[in-house]
Amino acid sequence: MLLDDALRALPLVESYEGSLIDVGSGGGSPGIPLASALPEREVTLLDAEQRKCDFLRRWSPSNAEVAWGRAEEQPVEQWGVALAKALAQPPVAAELCLPLVRVGGAAILWLGREADPGRLAVASERLGGGTPALHDGLAVIPKVAPTPPGFPRRVGVAKKRPLA
């Protein structure tokens, strides 16, 4: 079930070039299954908890690098695709992911049933993202402009004061 859920993003990920970052990788999904399915692509598995990073290092394929840290502390516009599953509410997840993606790439978010696409679109516009496209419970947010000044905001601010 978890494997299928992660791999449903595969065709969407394949439509963008460049390396991937799984933000809040935790137990490794979707990052590890996608890294295994795309052995030619570099994948970064990012998590803020050291014990989760230790787990990820044990199980990640050779094309995956594990990074211990926060999304807000990573270099901006370095990846082709940023992924987030169960990270935060969609506008917050967008704020944590979109600054990491270079123009021409995309953030792909797993959405819950209660997700509000309108709020996600508002956040996306403020972050250099285009209109989110919905695909089978996934939101694909294209990065259409550079990350605006002031983003990413300090650690924790996106959750405390969401953009939408």
* Domain ranges across the chain: 2-160
pLDDT, position 114 = 85
Q: What is the pLDDT of residue 27?
A: 92
User: What CATH code is assigned to 2-160?
Assistant: 3.40.50.150
Q: Is the pLDDT of residue 133 over 90?
A: yes
Residues near 34 by beta carbon (within 8 Å), at least 6 away in sequence: 6, 7, 9, 10, 13, 20, 22, 43, 83
More confident: 117 or 143: 143
Q: Give the predicted TM-score (pTM) of the model.
A: 0.95
**Residue 30, preceding peptide bond in cis (omega within 30° of 0):** yes
pLDDT, average across residues 42-56: 97
Alpha-carbon distance of 31 to 57, in angstroms, equals 12
Backbone angles phi, psi at 52, to 5 degrees: -70, -40
Mean pLDDT to the nearest integer, 37-54: 97
- For residues 36 and 40, give the distance between their C-alpha atoms in angstroms, rounded to a whole number: 9
